Structure 1
Amino acid sequence: MKKVLIITYYWPPAGGPGVQRWLKFVKYLPEFDVEPIVYIPENPHYPIQDTSLMAEIPQGVPIYKYKIFEPYRLAGLLSSKKTKRISSGIIKTKDPSVLEKAMLWIRGNFFIPDARKFWVGPSVKFLSELIVKEQIETIITTGPPHSVHLIGQQLKEKHNVKWVTDFRDPWTSIGYHKKLRLSAVSQKKHKKLERSVLNAADQLIVTSETTKKEFEQITNKPIAVITNGYDTGFKGKVDIDKSFTIAHVGSLLTGRNPENLWRALSQLASENAVFRNELQLDFLGVVSQDVMESLNRYELMPYVKLKGYVSHAQAVRRQQGAQVLLLVEIDSEETAGIIPGKIFEYMAAKRPILAIGPKNWEVRNLINETQTGEVFDYKSTTQLKNVLLDWFKAYKKGALTVNSKNIEKYSRKELTRKLAQNL
């Protein structure tokens, strides 16, 4: 059995979609003759935690830890609320405070590629001994944080190992990168590090075709697309909501504000008393201020239920019971290749998906291929309104369903099979 060292910052009790990808790969790799060995920080700063995921860590998997210096802990002494928001990816675009501007500038220009850079040196020293001790043949680094890839690059230089990089998100082209107030010098440093990593790795893994095409302009190294997937483990039965619920599971971060949806819902509620009486909007996770302001402006607050962050198990259960599942991405060219991990669990829930995102969003291909819902850009209102009304009529008849197809290849086990072929 091949030994593979997996270097990841996010691991239970971290919450959110980033941790689930490699938690599930580790679960299934032994079935494909791969023995995973996991390396994680000893004292990480996780802005979101989900202790229920601890129970999903496979028994017997070797897990090594080494302490990390976290600048976010120091920043939290100035403002814990602002620090948590920035480290979670919520960056205010309207009227940021002087402190927030300063924190973003420091984050972007002093901590390159990111604030976890101080884990690189100590980890290389610690893992160099481990590679020899465990006779490890292959190492995998997964980012963000992309500083984790620098650990892999230095280990590759010191040892005769195969190095596989997994990019859950792009590096310099990701949406929030432009909001970090980078100087021209800092931008060049990021680009240089990105190019260096992409060309030093033996194998690249990305989560979308868009990112693959982007990286092919930088490197000739082999690139495999392995999306996120579903592995809900849900065996129970959930009754579908009696109300016409539109549920969004996960954080609605800055910029994910589909005003055309709020406008369509507001018009339907104004025009149709039955719709108005049965509409419910459920938000599970952090909701940014710009979204809240829009909901209030379109007089939708009476229909809103803010449930805050819930465990992954609770999220899966909620997906099963909602009438409609909402998926939203920022409306920009940079986000066209972002495929939110929750879409695959949405597919597994077999409830209609209402997706709103950029014009050439790769999600459109996924939803069309699997016949699991409808996709709109931010300019559609009339067509969006018509679909909502059609779904509402089907809901009233007890016939709002989806007849999905081709979703089995997105199961975590099948995706792990694909991963093992690239190791």
Structure 2
Amino acid sequence: MARKKILIVSYYWYPFADVGTYRISRFAKYLAKSGWDIVVLTSKKAAAGMKGEPDDPVLENIKVYRANIIEPVSLLKGKKGGSAKTSNPSIFYQKDAGLISRLAVWARLNLMIPDAKFTWKWFAVPLGKKVIEQEKPDVILSTSPPPTTSLIARKLAEWSGLPWHADFRDPWTNIYYYDDNPPSAWAQKRNKKLEASVLKKADRLTVVNHGFFPSYHLEDKLTKIPNGFDPDHVLNKKEVPQKNDSVFHIRYFGSMKVNQYPKAFIKALQTLSDERPGIAENIHFDFYGNIDPDIKEDIKSASDIIETSFTRYIPHDEMMKKVNSSDLLLLLIGRTKNSKFGLSTKVFEYMTSGKPVLGIGPVDGAAAELVADTNIGKFFSHEDHKGVINFILQTYEAKQKGETLFEPSEKAIQQYNFSYLTNKLENILDELIA
């Protein structure tokens, strides 16, 4: 029996190991282990937050083709030393933006359609045709964002006649930053038209959660496959040294954008410092990832007692050791019209640690439901700083007593195992090429 072959179109791929790499690389890994031959079409460079090499021999053996791209350059140095890029959503939320930065925002919204990676299509489509002729895949799988990835896959599917499965990690025109920064009527119409063409042409669609395409009727072709965790990354708890010191480590991993402003958490730090200084002096807040500079300053200035540290992205294995040695894990869901559907990718790695999760966001949203179903922590609204304070104190006191507040539901957690999730994807792909 001939092996099945899939062409994956993804802007993110190693060594550009941004968060966008994780989901598609897990699918590729477990499809390969299931007997598929994998071919990846990606970009020669990517505006990723960190770099990394494949974490499994299966991924190292995947054939990768790289198309040129003309990346937008940094347009302005931020007032706190950061840089504003047309490819980064934070450009939409800069305070006291100058003329150049405002022009960059306008260009990103009205000229760079559907996104700042639009030039990649010029090079990826011709290369993709050559790859298809040479590799002869059975099916195409694309993953978005950026939406340009979907446009490339659509062109290749139309040209080749191959079945095409489009995967979406985030919404397209329904994404949060367009709510606060609406493009021109022409740009909105153009972007909506491109989105509609992709949703119509794709043979099957997957989304990480509901609410991505509310104005379309896609019931016959759309499946929800959430993000998850790689069982190979679940560390043996005996491998992670547990310190019995008095320091209480609250940690956050990933990006923290303007729309995720942790009002209740910052207020809780301030109140604990004022009212419970004896406990506050034992609390450390450790951040790992990319944080909005204004949020960083507000967290640092929230308390003169609570120690804070801010570190850029760290390798995944090192991150998981930090997760597993934490005392409390902070999870934030932003404030947008679609916040109820928001699911941070970090919650799936948090859930395997056995450490309590402090969630802040919609208490009736998808993330809060997941945390409750898996019994890994508790959620509070962005305004409920008193609830956040009480939860921090409960987990702090539980550590002092050597008690466990939550017993995670292993059955519920296994629903987010990427081996299981990839099997769901593989069933769809098999239907497409049958």
Q: TM-score, normalised by structure 1?
A: 0.92
Structure 2 CA distance for partners of 1:201 and 1:336, relative to 1, 3 Å: same
Q: How much does 1:348 deviate?
A: 1.0
Query: More helix by proportion, 1 or 2?
Result: 1
Structure 2 CA distance for partners of 1:124 and 1:176, relative to 1, 3 Å: same
Q: Match of 2:5, SS?
A: strand
Q: How much does 1:419 deviate?
A: 1.1
Corresponding residue number in structure 2 for 1:140? 141
Residue 256 of structure 1, aligned match among 248, 255, 260: 260
Q: Are 1:2 and 2:4 an aligned pair?
A: yes
What is the distance in 2 between the residues matched to 1:321 and 1:129? Answer: 48
Q: How much does 1:57 deviate?
A: 6.1
Contact 1:370 1:404 in 2 (8 A): yes
Show the 5 A alignment for 1:35-74: 35-42=37-44, 44-53=45-54, 58-70=59-71, 72=72
Q: Are 1:17 and 2:19 an aligned pair?
A: yes
Contact 1:13 1:54 in 2 (8 A): no
Q: Which amino acid aligns with 1:50?
A: K
Structure 2 CA distance for partners of 1:277 and 1:302, relative to 1, 3 Å: closer
What is the distance in 2 between the residues matched to 1:55 and 1:67? Answer: 26
Show the 5 A alignment for 1:273-422: 273-299=277-303, 302-400=306-404, 402-405=406-409, 406-422=412-428
What is the distance in 1 between the residues matched to 2:211 and 2:354? Answer: 26
Q: Which amino acid aligns with 1:37?
A: V
Q: Which amino acid aligns with 2:167?
A: D
What is the distance in 2 between the residues matched to 1:296 and 1:52? Answer: 33
Q: How much does 1:34 deviate?
A: 2.4
Q: Which amino acid aligns with 1:263?
A: K
- Please give the per-residue CA displacement for 1:133-173, whole angstroms capped at 9, x wherever unaligned: 32222101111110110111112211221110010101111
Q: Match of 2:290, SS?
A: coil
What is the distance in 2 between the residues matched to 1:132 and 1:215? Answer: 37
What is the distance in 2 between the residues matched to 1:411 and 1:163? Answer: 24
What is the distance in 2 between the residues matched to 1:240 and 1:312? Answer: 19
Q: How much does 1:178 deviate?
A: 3.5
Q: Which amino acid aligns with 1:330?
A: G
Q: Are 1:172 and 2:173 an aligned pair?
A: yes
Structure 2 CA distance for partners of 1:148 and 1:61, relative to 1, 3 Å: same
Contact 1:104 1:181 in 2 (8 A): no
Show the 5 A alignment for 1:97-136: 97-136=98-137
- Please give the per-residue CA displacement for 1:209-257, whole angstroms capped at 9, x wherever unaligned: 333xx35734454111111111225346213353111100112122222
Contact 1:202 1:222 in 2 (8 A): yes
Q: Match of 1:51, SS?
A: coil
What is the distance in 2 between the residues matched to 1:380 and 1:85? Answer: 34
Q: How much does 1:77 deviate?
A: 6.8
Structure 2 CA distance for partners of 1:258 and 1:301, relative to 1, 3 Å: farther
What is the distance in 2 between the residues matched to 1:276 and 1:359? Answer: 26
Contact 2:82 2:293 in 1 (8 A): no
Contact 1:259 1:294 in 2 (8 A): no
Corresponding residue number in structure 2 for 1:268? 272
Greater mean deviation of Cα atoms: 13-22 or 166-175:
13-22
Structure 2 CA distance for partners of 1:60 and 1:227, relative to 1, 3 Å: same
- Please give the per-residue CA displacement for 1:167-195, whole angstroms capped at 9, x wherever unaligned: 01011111123455511111111111111
Corresponding residue number in structure 2 for 1:230? 229
Corresponding residue number in structure 2 for 1:201? 202
Structure 2 CA distance for partners of 1:130 and 1:239, relative to 1, 3 Å: same
Structure 2 CA distance for partners of 1:264 and 1:150, relative to 1, 3 Å: same
What is the distance in 2 between the residues matched to 1:400 and 1:265? Answer: 23
Q: Which amino acid aligns with 2:68?
A: K
What is the distance in 2 between the residues matched to 1:408 and 1:222? Answer: 25
Greater mean deviation of Cα atoms: 231-240 or 80-89:
80-89
Q: Which amino acid aligns with 1:226?
A: I
Q: How much does 1:86 deviate?
A: 4.9
Greater mean deviation of Cα atoms: 302-311 or 160-169:
302-311
Contact 2:363 2:381 in 1 (8 A): yes
What is the distance in 2 between the residues matched to 1:387 and 1:301? Answer: 19
Corresponding residue number in structure 2 for 1:90? 90
Greater mean deviation of Cα atoms: 90-99 or 322-331:
90-99
Corresponding residue number in structure 1 for 2:432? none
Higher relative CO (CA 8 A, sep ≥ 6), structure 1 or 2? 1
What is the distance in 2 between the residues matched to 1:4 and 1:300? Answer: 55
What is the distance in 2 between the residues matched to 1:300 and 1:285? Answer: 23
What is the distance in 1 between the residues matched to 2:6 and 2:106? Answer: 37
Contact 1:240 1:323 in 2 (8 A): no
**What is the root-mean-square deviation of aligned Cα atoms in Å?**
2.2
Q: How much does 1:413 deviate?
A: 1.2
Q: Which amino acid aligns with 2:270?
A: S
Q: Which amino acid aligns with 1:240?
A: Q
Aligned residues: 417
